Amino acid sequence: MSKRFVVFFLLVFISSISFAEEALKKVKVLSEEYYDLLFDKNKVGKVRLETYIGNFKGKEYYVIEEEMEARFLRGGTEMKTYSKSRTLSNQKDLEPAGYWYESNEGGEKRNIMGIVKREKNKKILHLEIDIGGTKTTKDVEVPDDAIFSNAFEIFIRRNLQEGFSAKRPLIMEADTDVVEGTTQVDKFEPVDACPNSVYKTTTVVAGIKNVELRDSSGWPVCVIIPTMNAIFLRTDKKKAEEGFSPVDIFEQSLIKPDKQIKSINRLERLTVRLTFDSMQLPDIIEDEYQKVLKREGKSITLQIKRIRPDIDKKMTFPVKDERLSKYIQPTRYEQSNSEKIMELAQKFAGDETDIIDTAIKVSDRVGQYIKGASLSKGYLSALEVLEQRVGDCTEYSVLTSALLKSLGIPTRLVMGLVYVDGKFGFHSWLDYWAGEWYSIDPTLNEEAVNPTHIRLWTGIGEPSELRGASTSALNFLNKVKIEILDAEYK
């Protein structure tokens, strides 16, 4: 069971000669603000946000530097996260020029460098990415009016007046993609928790809603993220440096149903009622595995079934189907084109040629290959799992997925809930394609996943898609009750 999806949403090549970070010189500091990050009223982190005019290779830019540090407990083990971004924009209109991003998630380092260029009348963001020593490049076409996501805050401040609203495409520095950002400005009466606030801005970025309470200068006094039960509270440098009180988000995310589920190995079909604390019900995946039977008020009645692969149905790999190409190609976290990944896949698969037999065999071998969990680490890529041989369900799934992709077998990652030890908790497994999608769980060593696997998200190992997993998790975090309505057994 994963301890990672509940914190993944908070974790958010600097060696290039053409865009060397050390060439940036600070000219004039415009502002420097500090914030405490409170989760469930506990201080778990801090943020420093500085804006200044910087000189880069003889040209002046508006620089926004954002630095965040946070600590959480995962099953009693402390996990430290750190991230820092610097974006360079045109002073007048915030036109993006380039950026650097670095993070350290439980000791796992990620570095990204991006340069915005014009090529054939198109604006292209050229990226150099380093994930645990694996370096890749990527080009992303961005709209002409796109700005960096951290520049959206400056854009809002420049237009702070009652009734103002706007929509802008935003470049997500950590996820290296472009999303829509919206904001609405309203007058606001100050409250004790956020004194001196006179404006309220409601901002939605990549589906995540923030409520910012601002003073007359435009800077936020408080930033409230309702789906996370988190608040960024403005403070001074001295207080920001004070110690943290990390909380165990994994333990808080566990959901105990109204009754126990017995004999899961024989369970074939499960019907549950999910009751949320809001009338705004989340989207629920409906596919061959699960079906929504009823939506009523704050509740969704869901039926999940076990689908066992037909081992007599033979289908060989590699699969050559353009419609499935997305699910075979390597991704940032599934480096299926790595020689090490391909060699291990061949070793695990042996002489097998059938997809179902191979998927079962590889999944089983991954379960043996990973030697233990490391709760202090961040989200590992497949290559990092191969080299370190540690992890929990996310690592089991991402390695199995990469190995199967390297053999030409389409896969997709799955995030959801699973029932273990009397409670539902966030979990990861995967689907593979053998004429249809079949689910397999290398962590729990299940060739056909049991019906307590509630599917919340499916996708591939790109940050832009994994963000969807995080958003889905947020909709369930401390917000749902689960009732067991019916269980059918073999």
- Whether 191 and 289 map to the same domain: the answer is no
Average pLDDT over all residues of the chain: 90
Does 260 map to a domain? no
Render pLDDT for 258-298 as a digit per residue (tens, 0 to 9). 999 999 999 999 999 999 987 678 889 999 999 999 999 99
Residue 254 lies inside a defined structural domain of this protein: no
Q: Domain check: are 300 and 234 in the same one?
A: no
* Domain C-terminal end among 240, 258, 291: 240
Residue 308 structural domain: 266-489
Percent of the chain at pLDDT > 70 equals 95
Return the CATH number at 282. 3.10.620.30
pLDDT at 14 over 80: no
249 assigned to some structural domain: no
Tell which wins on pLDDT, 83 or 18: 83
Render pLDDT for 318-340 as a digit per residue (tens, 0 to 9). 999 999 999 999 999 999 999 99
pLDDT-derived band at 18, boundaries 50, 70, 90: very low
311 in the same domain as 199: no
Instruction: Please indicate, yes or no, whether residues 212 and 303 belong to a single structural domain of this protein.
Output: no
Q: In terms of domains, do 53 and 18 share one? A: yes
Is 181 a domain residue? yes
Lowest mean pLDDT among 80-84, 205-209, 427-431: 205-209
pLDDT of the residue at 318: 96
pLDDT at residue 15 in the model: 31
Residue 472 lies in a domain: yes
For residues 277 and 146, membership in a common domain is answered with no
Instruction: Judge if 328 and 453 occupy the same domain.
Output: yes
Model confidence band, residue 8 (pLDDT cutoffs 50, 70, 90): very low
Within a domain: residue 259? no
Give domain status of residue 248, yes or no. no
Across 11-15, 176-180, 393-397, least confident range: 11-15
Structure tokens at 33: 């603000």
Is 256 within a domain? no
Same domain, 100 and 211: yes
Instruction: Indicate if 307 and 233 belong to the same structural domain.
Output: no
Question: Does 312 score more than 80 pLDDT?
Answer: yes
What confidence score (pLDDT) does residue 21 get?
A: 63
Last residue of a domain, one of 225, 240, 255: 240
Do 214 and 339 belong to one domain? no
> pLDDT band at residue 79, thresholds of 50, 70 and 90?
confident
Question: What average pLDDT does the segment 161-188 reach?
Answer: 93
Q: pLDDT tens digit string along 26-38?
A: 999 999 999 999 9
Q: Mean pLDDT across the stretch 252-256? A: 89
Residues 286, 185, single domain; the answer is: no
Tell me, what's the pLDDT at 376? 67
In the structure, what pLDDT confidence band is assigned to residue 378 with cuts at 50, 70 and 90? confident
Count of domains in the chain? 2
Residue 12: the pLDDT is 32
Q: Do 222 and 318 belong to one domain? A: no
